[in-house]
């Protein structure tokens, strides 16, 4: 997943820990000042399904640029570039079926957050 995100969404890998057999235990990705941690399933843990990740970039030009990059690399698009009252966004799946919602929010959700 981390390699896919680096290639398709321009995230930078800042740290990777691997087991002795080479399997990845933990990866940290960076997006500007933000970090995304991805942890492997450890013995005794149970994962019920695929995950959904949100990548909030707050810059419509960046969302459009990443969307074009995803199209150019033939990634599996789950939702085309869409403009709504919530965000300019698209959703793309990585090779494992995890969904990435890439968005520049409009401020609508921030207003909802302030009301709670």
What does the pLDDT average to over 6-27? 83
Residues with Cβ within 8 Å of residue 44, at least 6 apart in sequence: none
What is the domain count for the chain? Answer: 1
| pLDDT value, residue 78 | 92
| pLDDT value, residue 85 | 93
Q: Please tell me which residue, 16 or 39, carries the higher pLDDT value.
A: 16
CATH number of the CATH domain containing 88: 3.10.180.10
User: Residue 68 — very low, low, confident or very high, per pLDDT cuts 50/70/90?
Assistant: very high
Q: Which domain holds residue 78?
A: 2-42+50-115
Q: HEC states along the chain?
A: CHHHHHHHHCCEEEEEEECCCCCEEEEEEEECCEEEEEECCCCCCCCCCCCEEEEECCCHHHHHHHHHHHHHCCCEEEEEEEECCCEEEEEEECCCCCEEEEEEECCHHHHHHHHC
């Amino acid at each position: 997943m981390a390699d896919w995100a680096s290639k398709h969404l321009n995230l930078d890998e800042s740290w990777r820990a691997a087991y002795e057999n080479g399997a990845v235990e933990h990866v940290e990705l960076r997006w500007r000042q933000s970090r995304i941690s991805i942890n492997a399933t450890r013995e005794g843990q149970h994962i019920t399904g695929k995950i959904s990740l949100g990548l909030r970039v707050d810059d419509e030009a960046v969302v459009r640029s990443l969307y074009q990059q995803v199209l150019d690399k033939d990634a599996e698009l789950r939702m085309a570039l869409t403009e709504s009252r919530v965000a300019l966004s698209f959703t793309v799946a990585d090779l494992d079926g995890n969904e990435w919602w890439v968005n520049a929010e409009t401020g609508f959700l921030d207003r909802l957050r302030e009301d709670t």
